[in-house]
């Protein structure tokens, strides 16, 4: 292990230790099941905003998007535009409404809100919605353990299996103890380190390029031009109809952000009051605009430093650039934040799965756990159980299988539940039976579309949204419900 790697390891151990202690400290304030599931719906706006952004963008903003920008050039702007448009729309139009609705219906979980909103079939919405979310996000947790193991293996040559155990050991204790509150407040630290990396990295990178003429290129523009015609084209060189397909495919990420990602919407629902919701909106939108610009720039700076063929794995461009332009000690801090954010994404998914299972599939059908202390104890037991099972599944299942199932989440969960949330908020005629039809049709369409290979033709990220939306409208009129039955 060289000196730079040793520094990185020391910084990471210190950072993770502080993170665990911070999470456990926040967990001391958890007294009830509502505190555990949704922080008592009492989050300051800036906390909710930073947590939502860290949860939504951790590995994507720091590894995925810079890597895609490095590999495809200007083409990746459309993905960024779609994501930013979706996030801004969510914060501007949906966040405060979901906060108000959660308070109105005293909802502690995502599915509980939908069920109480459409009480005509509330029981079946709880069962179908929670089961779907728990199943897919349970596998999502396993994928995060796998990803954490692979990351630690790549950085420190630790065996992936040991890396998975370390990943679990970092996030599981404070998640079990403090639930949603601990997860949110550790996310705040991640979001601050992430945005620091995405601001400082590009600024120092541009200075570095101008001072090193021996590099592949001295500016991002010249790097894109030298790399080939596809790199400095907004359509990757595609023309006509295919150019439209490329643009729509990138922009399709927009539809998954419209309330359909439960782990993000829960942050909206947990905001303290309308005034804090306005502050959260401003922080969330500002963070997003800065982060996405920085992520794209890091990818293009990497192209200028290493050239289009200089990295074997494009998603290593962010750490490669940071290690190149900063002294080892500074680079260690910035990269550690990135690794920590990626590793700890599992905590948000874990607590979401646990609270959905505990509050919607166990609590309504059990008289034993109705008081506050018993409810909190049940929630912690469920969280620990899911963590152990998810880790075991990640160990025994082929990683390709888990990541394939996770690929259904953005379209199947995001596209489907975005329709449910949008219509629940904005269309009074939408009712419970139509909700169930929406959930079933959206998920089955996504699974069939991806498994038959049609995803390569047109992405399900956009099709699922419109298919589920069409079914929602049709069943709303096909199976009308009297308004008094909805209350």
Over the stretch 128-140, which tens digit does the pLDDT of each residue have? 999 989 888 888 8
In-domain check, residue 460: no
Percent of the chain at pLDDT exceeding 90: 59
Higher-pLDDT residue of 342 and 442 is: 442
Number of domains making up the chain: 1
- Mean pLDDT computed over 200-220: 94
pLDDT of res. 303: 96
Q: How far apart are CA 284 and CA 279, in angstroms?
A: 9
Q: How far apart are CA 147 and CA 65, in angstroms?
A: 16
pLDDT of res. 277: 97
Res. 486: pLDDT tops 70: no
- Mean pLDDT computed over 37-57: 94
Q: Which range is least confidently modeled, 9-18, 98-107, 200-209?
A: 9-18
- Mean pLDDT computed over 173-185: 95
In-domain check, residue 456: no
Contact assessment for residue 4 and residue 326, using Cβ atoms and an 8 Å cutoff: no
Q: How far are the Cα atoms of 262, 276, 436 from residue 410, in angstroms, in the given order?
A: 11, 28, 19
Res. 484: pLDDT tops 60: no
In-domain check, residue 445: no
In-domain check, residue 298: yes
Q: Which range is least confidently modeled, 137-141, 407-411, 444-448, 460-464?
A: 407-411
In-domain check, residue 417: no
Percent of the chain at pLDDT exceeding 70: 94
pLDDT of res. 39: 94
Q: How far apart are CA 409 and CA 144, in angstroms?
A: 13
CATH number of the domain residue 327 falls in:
1.20.1730.10
- Mean pLDDT score of the chain: 89
pLDDT of res. 449: 92
Residues in the chain: 487
Helix (H), strand (E) at residue 32: none
Higher-pLDDT residue of 429 and 249 is: 429
pLDDT of res. 483: 56
pLDDT of res. 219: 93
- Mean pLDDT computed over 265-292: 97
pTM of the model: 0.92
- Mean pLDDT computed over 230-244: 85
- Mean pLDDT computed over 270-287: 97
- Mean pLDDT computed over 174-200: 94
pLDDT of res. 8: 81
Q: Which range is least confidently modeled, 223-237, 294-308, 342-356, 397-411?
A: 397-411
Higher-pLDDT residue of 182 and 242 is: 182
Res. 289: pLDDT tops 70: yes
pLDDT of res. 339: 72
pLDDT of res. 64: 86
Domain that holds residue 145: 3-397
Q: Which residue has the tokens 């008094």?
A: 484
Backbone torsions φ then ψ of 43, nearest 5 degrees: -80, 135
Q: How far apart are CA 137 and CA 349, in angstroms?
A: 6
pLDDT of res. 487: 47
In-domain check, residue 288: yes
Nearest partner of 178 among 48, 46, 40, judged by Cα: 40
pLDDT of res. 403: 62
Helix (H), strand (E) at residue 232: none
Contact assessment for residue 102 and residue 113, using Cβ atoms and an 8 Å cutoff: yes
Banded pLDDT at 405 (limits 50, 70, 90)? low
- Mean pLDDT computed over 192-202: 93
Contact assessment for residue 95 and residue 271, using Cβ atoms and an 8 Å cutoff: yes
The separation between CA 223 and the C-alpha centre of its own chain, rounded to angstroms, equals 31
In-domain check, residue 11: yes
pLDDT of res. 167: 87
Tens-place pLDDT, residues 318-328: 989 998 999 88
Q: How far apart are CA 415 and CA 412, in angstroms?
A: 6
Radius of gyration in angstroms for the set of CA atoms belonging to the chain, rounded to a whole number: 22
Q: What angle do CA 289, 291, 292 make, to 5 degrees?
A: 70
pLDDT of res. 12: 85
In-domain check, residue 408: no
């Amino acid at each position: 292990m060289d000196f730079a790697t040793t520094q990185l390891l020391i910084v990471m151990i210190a950072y993770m230790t502080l993170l665990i202690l911070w999470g456990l400290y926040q967990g001391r304030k958890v007294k009830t099941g509502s505190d555990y599931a949704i922080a008592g719906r009492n989050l300051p706006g800036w906390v909710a905003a930073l947590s939502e952004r860290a949860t939504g963008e951790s590995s994507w903003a720091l590894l995925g998007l810079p890597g895609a920008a490095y590999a495809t050039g200007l083409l990746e702007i459309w993905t960024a535009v779609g994501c930013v448009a979706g996030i801004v729309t969510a914060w501007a139009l949906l966040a405060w409404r979901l906060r108000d609705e959660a308070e109105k219906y005293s909802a502690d979980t995502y599915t509980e809100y939908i069920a109480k909103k459409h009480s005509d079939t509330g029981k079946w919405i709880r069962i179908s919605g929670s089961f779907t979310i728990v199943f897919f996000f349970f596998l999502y947790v396993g994928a995060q353990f796998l990803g954490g193991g692979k990351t630690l293996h790549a950085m420190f040559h630790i065996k992936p299996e040991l890396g998975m155990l370390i990943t679990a050991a970092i996030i599981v204790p404070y998640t079990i103890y403090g639930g949603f509150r601990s997860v949110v407040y550790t996310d705040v630290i991640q979001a601050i380190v992430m945005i620091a990396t995405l601001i400082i990295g590009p600024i120092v990178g541009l200075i570095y390029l101008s001072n090193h003429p021996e590099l592949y290129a001295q500016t991002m523009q010249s790097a894109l031009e030298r790399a080939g015609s596809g790199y400095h084209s907004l359509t990757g060189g595609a023309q006509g109809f295919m150019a439209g397909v490329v643009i729509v495919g990138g922009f399709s990420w927009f539809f998954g952000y419209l309330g359909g990602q439960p782990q993000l919407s829960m942050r909206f629902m947990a905001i303290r009051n309308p005034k804090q919701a306005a502050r959260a909106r401003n922080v969330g939108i500002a963070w997003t605009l800065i982060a996405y610009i920085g992520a794209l720039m890091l990818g293009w700076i990497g192209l200028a430093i290493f050239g289009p063929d200089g990295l074997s794995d494009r998603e290593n461009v962010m750490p490669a650039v940071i290690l190149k332009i900063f002294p080892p000690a500074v680079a260690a801090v910035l990269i550690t934040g990135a690794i920590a954010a990626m590793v700890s994404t599992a905590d948000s998914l874990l607590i979401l799965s646990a609270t959905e299972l505990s509050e919607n599939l166990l609590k309504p059908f059990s008289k034993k756990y109705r008081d506050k202390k018993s409810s909190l104890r049940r929630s912690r037991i469920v969280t620990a159980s899911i963590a152990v099972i998810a880790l075991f599944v990640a160990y025994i299942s082929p990683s390709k299988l888990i990541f394939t199932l996770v690929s259904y989440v953005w379209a199947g969960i995001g596209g489907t539940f975005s329709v449910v949330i949008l219509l629940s908020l904005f269309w009074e005629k939408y009712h419970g039976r139509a909700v169930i039809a929406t959930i079933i049709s959206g998920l089955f369409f996504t699974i069939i579309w991806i498994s038959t290979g049609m995803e390569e033709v047109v992405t399900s990220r956009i099709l699922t949204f419109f298919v589920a939306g069409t079914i929602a409208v049709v069943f709303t009129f096909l199976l009308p419900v009297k308004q008094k039955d909805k209350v």
